[in-house]
């Protein structure tokens, strides 16, 4: 049984734990994973228990956990741009990160998903969808054929990405947002929840609405976690 450590004790950690529990329930006599614990830098979270899994230390303590594999559960509007730094601070090699796919997700045979990425229940990756490393795909999010998603990106619950859409590195697509075919969302951009994106979004920009438009001067998504 492979010991797993989850990064972050926020809401997404619950989705990761649920997916791990669902994987283990496929063969209760031989569960695949054991959650060793959670690492989180919020001091008051130390010792906290999340769905039966205890916060056992800070991110920098990852090297002490020999034999464990890691998966990131940190991502919110406030923290998504910090994900690459969180991964770096673990000091873990690329192959020490586990890819977690909920059994009720659907992945086409020709889809590709990178190391340390997560697909929660109801997620769909269509033919030749290409998902990078450390990507979080929340519940009921759909990637149509030939969609490309860069490393460290978050796709929130119920988002829809249509054919040949491209999401850059370390971006955030809000819940129930829709990305039109062949549209590109740039690196570190933020798409607000419920938005309909019919034109390219430049790197680092914040857009929202139907159709989505830039929110000039917005600090939305720029806060420090």
Q: How confident is the model at residue 159 (pLDDT cuts 50, 70, 90)?
A: very high
Q: Check whether 160 has a pLDDT greater than 60.
A: yes
Neighbours of 44 (CB within 10 A): 8
Q: How confident is the model at residue 222 (pLDDT cuts 50, 70, 90)?
A: very low
pTM: 0.93
Residues of each domain in the chain carrying CATH 3.40.50.20: 2-96
Q: Check whether 221 has a pLDDT greater than 90.
A: no
Is the domain defined by 2-96 classed in CATH 3.40.50.20? yes
State what percent of residues in the chain have pLDDT above 90.
93
Q: Using CA atoms, how far apart are residues 185 and 188, in angstroms rounded to an integer?
A: 9
pLDDT in tens, 69-89: 999 999 999 899 999 999 999
Helix then strand count (H, E) for the chain reads: 2, 24
Residue 217: per-residue pLDDT: 62
Average pLDDT over every residue of 163-168: 98
Strands 148-149 and 112-113: unpaired
Residue 216: per-residue pLDDT: 73
- Token pair 């406030």: residue: 78
In this structure, which topology does domain 99-209 adopt according to CATH?
Answer: UDP N-Acetylglucosamine Acyltransferase; domain 1 (2.160.10)
Which structure tokens are listed for 142?
A: 């759909």
Give the closest residue to 107 by CA, choosing from 136, 88, 128: 128
Neighbours of 222 (CB within 10 A): 13
Which structure tokens are listed for 1?
A: 């049984």
Q: Check whether 149 has a pLDDT greater than 90.
A: yes
Q: Read off the DSSP letter of residue 80.
A: G
CB-CB contact of 159 with 122 (8 Å): no
Interior angle at CA 133, CA 116 and CA 55, nearest 5: 35
SS3 11: helix
Element (H, E) at 23: helix 11-25
Q: Check whether 188 has a pLDDT greater than 90.
A: yes
Give the closest residue to 148 by CA, choosing from 136, 137, 159, 132: 132
Residues of each domain in the chain carrying CATH 2.160.10.10: 99-209
């Amino acid at each position: 049984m492979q010991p797993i450590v989850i990064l972050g004790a926020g809401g997404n950690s619950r989705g990761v734990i649920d997916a791990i529990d669902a994987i283990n329930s496929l063969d209760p006599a031989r569960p695949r994973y054991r959650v060793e614990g959670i690492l989180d830098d919020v001091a008051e979270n130390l010792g906290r228990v999340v769905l039966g899994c205890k916060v056992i230390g800070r991110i920098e303590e990852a090297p002490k956990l020999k034999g464990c594999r890691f998966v990131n559960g940190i991502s919110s509007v406030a923290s998504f741009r910090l994900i690459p730094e969180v991964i770096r601070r673990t000091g873990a090699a690329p192959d020490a990160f586990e890819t977690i796919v909920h059994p009720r997700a659907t992945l086409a045979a020709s889809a590709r998903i990178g190391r340390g990425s997560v697909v929660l229940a109801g997620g769909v990756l269509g033919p030749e969808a290409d998902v990078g490393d450390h990507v979080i795909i929340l519940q009921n999010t759909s990637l149509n054929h030939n969609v490309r998603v860069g490393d460290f990106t978050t796709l929130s619950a119920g988002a829809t990405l249509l054919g040949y859409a491209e999401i850059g590195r370390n971006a955030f697509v809000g819940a129930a947002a829709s990305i039109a075919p062949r549209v590109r969302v740039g690196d570190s951009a933020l798409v607000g929840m419920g938005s309909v994106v019919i034109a390219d979004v430049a790197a680092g920009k914040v857009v929202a609405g139907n159709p989505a438009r830039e929110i000039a001067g917005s600090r939305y998504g720029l806060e420090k976690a």
